Structure 1
Amino acid sequence: MTQILRDPEVGRLTGSFHTSEEAGEEPDVELLQQWYSTRSEQNDRLDLAVVDHASGQVVGEVVLNEWDPEDRACNFRILIGPAGRDRGLGTEATRLVVGHAFEALGLHRVSLEVFAFNPRAQRAYEKVGFVREGVRRDALRFDGEWVDSILMSILEDEWADHRGRPGS
Protein backbone atom coordinates (compact mmCIF):
# COMPACT_ATOMS: atom_id res chain seq x y z
CA MET A 1 0.00 0.00 0.00
CA THR A 2 2.95 2.33 0.56
CA GLN A 3 3.82 2.24 -3.14
CA ILE A 4 0.17 2.72 -4.11
CA LEU A 5 -0.29 5.68 -1.78
CA ARG A 6 2.88 7.22 -3.17
CA ASP A 7 1.27 7.44 -6.62
CA PRO A 8 0.38 11.05 -7.55
CA GLU A 9 -2.78 9.96 -9.37
CA VAL A 10 -4.07 8.12 -6.26
CA GLY A 11 -3.50 11.25 -4.18
CA ARG A 12 -5.26 13.49 -6.68
CA LEU A 13 -8.26 11.25 -7.33
CA THR A 14 -8.87 10.58 -3.63
CA GLY A 15 -8.40 14.22 -2.63
CA SER A 16 -5.48 13.25 -0.39
CA PHE A 17 -3.32 15.90 -2.05
CA HIS A 18 -4.41 19.45 -2.71
CA THR A 19 -1.56 20.32 -5.04
CA SER A 20 0.46 18.40 -7.58
CA GLU A 21 3.57 19.32 -5.53
CA GLU A 22 2.30 17.17 -2.66
CA ALA A 23 1.92 14.20 -4.98
CA GLY A 24 4.57 11.55 -4.61
CA GLU A 25 5.51 12.54 -1.07
CA GLU A 26 6.71 9.63 1.03
CA PRO A 27 3.92 8.15 3.13
CA ASP A 28 4.86 7.45 6.73
CA VAL A 29 5.41 3.67 6.61
CA GLU A 30 5.19 3.26 10.37
CA LEU A 31 1.87 5.10 10.49
CA LEU A 32 0.52 3.01 7.61
CA GLN A 33 1.56 -0.23 9.31
CA GLN A 34 -0.13 0.88 12.51
CA TRP A 35 -3.30 1.89 10.64
CA TYR A 36 -3.62 -1.32 8.62
CA SER A 37 -2.78 -3.53 11.60
CA THR A 38 -5.87 -2.24 13.42
CA ARG A 39 -8.41 -2.63 10.59
CA SER A 40 -9.58 -6.09 11.66
CA GLU A 41 -10.35 -4.75 15.14
CA GLN A 42 -12.93 -2.28 13.83
CA ASN A 43 -16.53 -3.39 14.11
CA ASP A 44 -18.08 -0.44 12.26
CA ARG A 45 -16.22 -0.77 8.96
CA LEU A 46 -14.76 -3.26 6.52
CA ASP A 47 -11.34 -2.62 4.96
CA LEU A 48 -10.13 -5.09 2.34
CA ALA A 49 -7.18 -5.31 -0.01
CA VAL A 50 -7.82 -5.50 -3.75
CA VAL A 51 -5.61 -8.26 -5.11
CA ASP A 52 -4.84 -8.95 -8.77
CA HIS A 53 -5.41 -12.70 -9.05
CA ALA A 54 -3.08 -12.96 -12.05
CA SER A 55 -0.05 -11.64 -10.14
CA GLY A 56 -1.08 -12.00 -6.49
CA GLN A 57 -0.13 -8.33 -6.06
CA VAL A 58 -2.11 -5.91 -3.88
CA VAL A 59 -3.30 -3.19 -6.24
CA GLY A 60 -5.57 -1.19 -3.95
CA GLU A 61 -8.13 -1.21 -1.19
CA VAL A 62 -11.89 -1.16 -0.86
CA VAL A 63 -13.74 0.07 2.21
CA LEU A 64 -17.24 0.12 3.65
CA ASN A 65 -17.26 2.74 6.41
CA GLU A 66 -19.41 5.36 8.13
CA TRP A 67 -21.82 2.56 9.03
CA ASP A 68 -25.22 3.72 10.25
CA PRO A 69 -27.02 0.70 11.78
CA GLU A 70 -30.30 2.60 12.30
CA ASP A 71 -30.58 3.48 8.61
CA ARG A 72 -28.81 0.29 7.41
CA ALA A 73 -26.46 2.46 5.39
CA CYS A 74 -22.76 2.99 4.85
CA ASN A 75 -20.25 4.79 2.69
CA PHE A 76 -18.15 3.07 0.03
CA ARG A 77 -14.68 4.01 -1.13
CA ILE A 78 -12.04 2.39 -3.27
CA LEU A 79 -8.59 3.23 -4.52
CA ILE A 80 -6.68 1.40 -7.21
CA GLY A 81 -2.98 1.92 -7.78
CA PRO A 82 -1.20 2.02 -11.15
CA ALA A 83 -0.74 -1.76 -11.41
CA GLY A 84 -4.49 -2.34 -11.22
CA ARG A 85 -5.86 0.41 -13.45
CA ASP A 86 -7.76 0.07 -16.70
CA ARG A 87 -8.31 -3.68 -16.34
CA GLY A 88 -11.74 -3.80 -14.70
CA LEU A 89 -10.37 -4.67 -11.25
CA GLY A 90 -12.00 -1.62 -9.65
CA THR A 91 -15.38 -2.46 -11.15
CA GLU A 92 -15.06 -6.10 -10.08
CA ALA A 93 -14.00 -5.17 -6.53
CA THR A 94 -16.84 -2.63 -6.30
CA ARG A 95 -19.38 -5.20 -7.48
CA LEU A 96 -18.13 -7.83 -5.00
CA VAL A 97 -18.08 -5.53 -1.96
CA VAL A 98 -21.39 -3.82 -2.74
CA GLY A 99 -22.92 -7.28 -3.20
CA HIS A 100 -21.56 -8.24 0.21
CA ALA A 101 -23.05 -5.06 1.70
CA PHE A 102 -26.54 -5.95 0.53
CA GLU A 103 -26.54 -9.74 0.55
CA ALA A 104 -24.48 -10.54 3.65
CA LEU A 105 -24.71 -7.38 5.77
CA GLY A 106 -28.35 -6.57 4.99
CA LEU A 107 -27.74 -2.92 4.19
CA HIS A 108 -30.38 -0.75 2.55
CA ARG A 109 -28.16 1.96 1.05
CA VAL A 110 -24.53 2.33 0.00
CA SER A 111 -23.35 5.80 -0.95
CA LEU A 112 -20.15 7.43 -2.15
CA GLU A 113 -18.60 10.65 -3.37
CA VAL A 114 -16.38 10.92 -6.43
CA PHE A 115 -14.57 14.01 -7.69
CA ALA A 116 -15.67 15.41 -11.04
CA PHE A 117 -12.16 14.99 -12.46
CA ASN A 118 -12.43 11.20 -12.07
CA PRO A 119 -14.72 10.03 -14.90
CA ARG A 120 -13.11 6.56 -14.90
CA ALA A 121 -14.41 5.93 -11.37
CA GLN A 122 -17.82 7.42 -12.20
CA ARG A 123 -18.18 4.96 -15.09
CA ALA A 124 -17.16 2.03 -12.87
CA TYR A 125 -19.74 2.99 -10.25
CA GLU A 126 -22.46 3.37 -12.89
CA LYS A 127 -21.59 -0.07 -14.31
CA VAL A 128 -22.34 -1.53 -10.87
CA GLY A 129 -25.61 0.41 -10.56
CA PHE A 130 -24.76 3.51 -8.53
CA VAL A 131 -27.05 6.42 -9.39
CA ARG A 132 -26.02 10.06 -9.37
CA GLU A 133 -27.89 11.94 -6.65
CA GLY A 134 -26.36 15.38 -6.67
CA VAL A 135 -23.26 17.51 -6.55
CA ARG A 136 -21.34 19.15 -3.73
CA ARG A 137 -20.14 22.17 -5.67
CA ASP A 138 -16.54 23.32 -5.21
CA ALA A 139 -15.93 20.62 -2.60
CA LEU A 140 -12.17 20.33 -3.19
CA ARG A 141 -9.49 22.81 -4.07
CA PHE A 142 -6.77 21.15 -6.16
CA ASP A 143 -3.90 23.09 -7.69
CA GLY A 144 -5.80 26.32 -7.15
CA GLU A 145 -8.92 25.08 -8.97
CA TRP A 146 -12.26 24.19 -7.40
CA VAL A 147 -13.56 20.69 -8.10
CA ASP A 148 -17.10 19.39 -7.58
CA SER A 149 -17.84 16.18 -5.70
CA ILE A 150 -20.53 13.96 -7.19
CA LEU A 151 -22.81 12.11 -4.78
CA MET A 152 -23.94 8.62 -5.84
CA SER A 153 -25.78 5.75 -4.18
CA ILE A 154 -27.29 2.37 -4.76
CA LEU A 155 -30.25 0.91 -2.85
CA GLU A 156 -31.01 -2.67 -1.89
CA ASP A 157 -34.00 -3.00 -4.24
CA GLU A 158 -31.89 -1.75 -7.15
CA TRP A 159 -29.21 -4.30 -6.30
CA ALA A 160 -31.85 -7.04 -6.05
CA ASP A 161 -33.07 -6.13 -9.56
CA HIS A 162 -29.70 -6.30 -11.31
CA ARG A 163 -27.05 -7.69 -8.91
CA GLY A 164 -24.56 -5.04 -9.98
CA ARG A 165 -25.17 -5.42 -13.72
CA PRO A 166 -27.82 -2.84 -14.68
CA GLY A 167 -29.01 -2.98 -18.26
CA SER A 168 -28.00 -6.59 -18.82
Structure 2
Amino acid sequence: MNIQISDIGHMIQLAIAPVFLLTGVATKLTVLTNRLARIIDRTRVLEDRLQIGPNDAYTDELETLYTRSHLINYAITSSTACGFLVCLVIAMLFVGDSANIKLDKYIAAFFVLAVFGLIFSFMFFLREIFISSRFMRIRHDASLVPGERRT
Protein backbone atom coordinates (compact mmCIF):
# COMPACT_ATOMS: atom_id res chain seq x y z
CA MET A 1 0.00 0.00 0.00
CA ASN A 2 1.86 3.02 -1.33
CA ILE A 3 -0.04 6.25 -0.66
CA GLN A 4 1.07 9.30 -2.62
CA ILE A 5 0.79 12.91 -1.44
CA SER A 6 -1.88 13.57 -4.06
CA ASP A 7 -3.90 10.63 -2.72
CA ILE A 8 -3.80 12.09 0.79
CA GLY A 9 -4.96 15.45 -0.58
CA HIS A 10 -7.84 13.72 -2.35
CA MET A 11 -8.83 11.88 0.85
CA ILE A 12 -8.81 15.13 2.80
CA GLN A 13 -11.01 16.77 0.16
CA LEU A 14 -13.50 13.91 0.52
CA ALA A 15 -13.62 14.35 4.30
CA ILE A 16 -14.13 18.14 4.34
CA ALA A 17 -17.96 18.17 4.15
CA PRO A 18 -18.41 15.65 6.98
CA VAL A 19 -15.90 17.59 9.08
CA PHE A 20 -17.99 20.76 8.69
CA LEU A 21 -21.06 18.78 9.75
CA LEU A 22 -19.12 17.47 12.75
CA THR A 23 -18.21 21.04 13.73
CA GLY A 24 -21.87 22.04 13.61
CA VAL A 25 -22.87 19.03 15.70
CA ALA A 26 -20.20 19.87 18.28
CA THR A 27 -21.49 23.44 18.51
CA LYS A 28 -25.04 22.16 18.90
CA LEU A 29 -23.90 19.83 21.68
CA THR A 30 -22.43 22.82 23.48
CA VAL A 31 -25.77 24.66 23.29
CA LEU A 32 -27.67 21.59 24.48
CA THR A 33 -25.38 20.90 27.42
CA ASN A 34 -25.57 24.55 28.47
CA ARG A 35 -29.37 24.38 28.43
CA LEU A 36 -29.26 21.17 30.44
CA ALA A 37 -26.94 22.79 33.00
CA ARG A 38 -29.37 25.70 33.42
CA ILE A 39 -32.26 23.28 33.88
CA ILE A 40 -30.30 21.32 36.49
CA ASP A 41 -29.35 24.50 38.36
CA ARG A 42 -32.96 25.68 38.46
CA THR A 43 -34.13 22.22 39.55
CA ARG A 44 -31.71 22.23 42.48
CA VAL A 45 -32.93 25.65 43.61
CA LEU A 46 -36.58 24.55 43.48
CA GLU A 47 -35.88 21.25 45.25
CA ASP A 48 -34.14 23.18 48.05
CA ARG A 49 -37.11 25.53 48.33
CA LEU A 50 -39.51 22.58 48.47
CA GLN A 51 -37.62 21.17 51.45
CA ILE A 52 -38.46 24.35 53.35
CA GLY A 53 -42.16 23.98 52.61
CA PRO A 54 -44.54 22.64 49.97
CA ASN A 55 -45.52 24.97 47.16
CA ASP A 56 -47.67 24.05 44.15
CA ALA A 57 -45.96 26.59 41.91
CA TYR A 58 -42.56 25.01 42.59
CA THR A 59 -43.94 21.53 42.01
CA ASP A 60 -45.46 22.57 38.67
CA GLU A 61 -42.22 24.16 37.56
CA LEU A 62 -40.25 21.07 38.60
CA GLU A 63 -42.53 18.88 36.48
CA THR A 64 -41.85 21.13 33.50
CA LEU A 65 -38.11 21.12 34.18
CA TYR A 66 -38.06 17.31 34.40
CA THR A 67 -39.83 17.06 31.04
CA ARG A 68 -37.44 19.57 29.51
CA SER A 69 -34.40 17.74 30.87
CA HIS A 70 -35.58 14.46 29.34
CA LEU A 71 -36.06 16.13 25.95
CA ILE A 72 -32.63 17.77 26.14
CA ASN A 73 -31.10 14.41 27.06
CA TYR A 74 -32.74 12.82 24.01
CA ALA A 75 -31.43 15.68 21.85
CA ILE A 76 -27.92 15.24 23.28
CA THR A 77 -28.07 11.50 22.66
CA SER A 78 -29.23 12.01 19.06
CA SER A 79 -26.56 14.65 18.41
CA THR A 80 -23.85 12.46 19.91
CA ALA A 81 -24.96 9.51 17.77
CA CYS A 82 -24.87 11.83 14.75
CA GLY A 83 -21.33 12.95 15.61
CA PHE A 84 -20.20 9.36 16.13
CA LEU A 85 -21.65 8.30 12.75
CA VAL A 86 -20.00 11.27 11.02
CA CYS A 87 -16.66 10.23 12.54
CA LEU A 88 -17.20 6.72 11.19
CA VAL A 89 -18.00 8.17 7.75
CA ILE A 90 -14.75 10.16 7.78
CA ALA A 91 -12.77 7.10 8.86
CA MET A 92 -14.41 4.95 6.18
CA LEU A 93 -13.63 7.59 3.55
CA PHE A 94 -9.94 7.44 4.43
CA VAL A 95 -9.80 3.65 4.80
CA GLY A 96 -11.81 3.00 1.67
CA ASP A 97 -9.78 5.38 -0.46
CA SER A 98 -6.36 4.39 0.86
CA ALA A 99 -6.95 0.63 0.87
CA ASN A 100 -9.10 0.52 -2.28
CA ILE A 101 -12.00 -1.04 -0.39
CA LYS A 102 -15.53 -0.48 -1.69
CA LEU A 103 -17.27 1.18 1.26
CA ASP A 104 -19.53 3.52 -0.68
CA LYS A 105 -22.79 1.84 0.40
CA TYR A 106 -21.72 1.84 4.05
CA ILE A 107 -20.60 5.45 3.85
CA ALA A 108 -23.93 6.49 2.33
CA ALA A 109 -25.92 4.49 4.89
CA PHE A 110 -23.98 5.87 7.87
CA PHE A 111 -24.27 9.41 6.52
CA VAL A 112 -28.04 9.06 6.14
CA LEU A 113 -28.26 7.67 9.69
CA ALA A 114 -26.19 10.62 10.91
CA VAL A 115 -28.56 13.06 9.24
CA PHE A 116 -31.53 11.28 10.84
CA GLY A 117 -29.80 11.62 14.21
CA LEU A 118 -29.42 15.34 13.55
CA ILE A 119 -33.08 15.63 12.53
CA PHE A 120 -34.24 13.86 15.70
CA SER A 121 -31.97 16.06 17.78
CA PHE A 122 -33.52 19.19 16.29
CA MET A 123 -37.01 17.80 16.87
CA PHE A 124 -36.31 17.12 20.56
CA PHE A 125 -34.66 20.52 20.92
CA LEU A 126 -37.58 22.31 19.29
CA ARG A 127 -40.05 20.46 21.52
CA GLU A 128 -38.06 21.50 24.60
CA ILE A 129 -38.13 25.13 23.44
CA PHE A 130 -41.91 24.97 22.92
CA ILE A 131 -42.42 23.61 26.44
CA SER A 132 -40.13 26.26 27.91
CA SER A 133 -41.92 29.05 26.03
CA ARG A 134 -45.36 27.76 26.97
CA PHE A 135 -44.41 27.61 30.66
CA MET A 136 -43.06 31.17 30.53
CA ARG A 137 -46.30 32.41 28.90
CA ILE A 138 -48.38 30.67 31.58
CA ARG A 139 -46.27 32.25 34.34
CA HIS A 140 -46.51 35.65 32.70
CA ASP A 141 -50.29 35.43 32.28
CA ALA A 142 -50.69 34.32 35.91
CA SER A 143 -48.66 37.30 37.11
CA LEU A 144 -50.82 39.89 35.33
CA VAL A 145 -53.09 42.01 37.46
CA PRO A 146 -56.77 41.49 36.46
CA GLY A 147 -57.68 44.07 33.86
CA GLU A 148 -54.05 44.71 32.89
CA ARG A 149 -53.41 44.71 29.20
CA ARG A 150 -51.27 41.90 27.83
CA THR A 151 -48.60 42.86 25.30
Scaled by the length of structure 2, what TM-score is found? 0.21
Q: Answer 1 or 2: which has greater helix percent.
A: 2
Structure ID, larger Rg: 2
Scaled by the length of structure 1, what TM-score is found? 0.19
Where relative contact order (Cα < 8 A, 6+ residues apart) is larger, the structure is 2
Q: Answer 1 or 2: which has greater strand percent.
A: 1
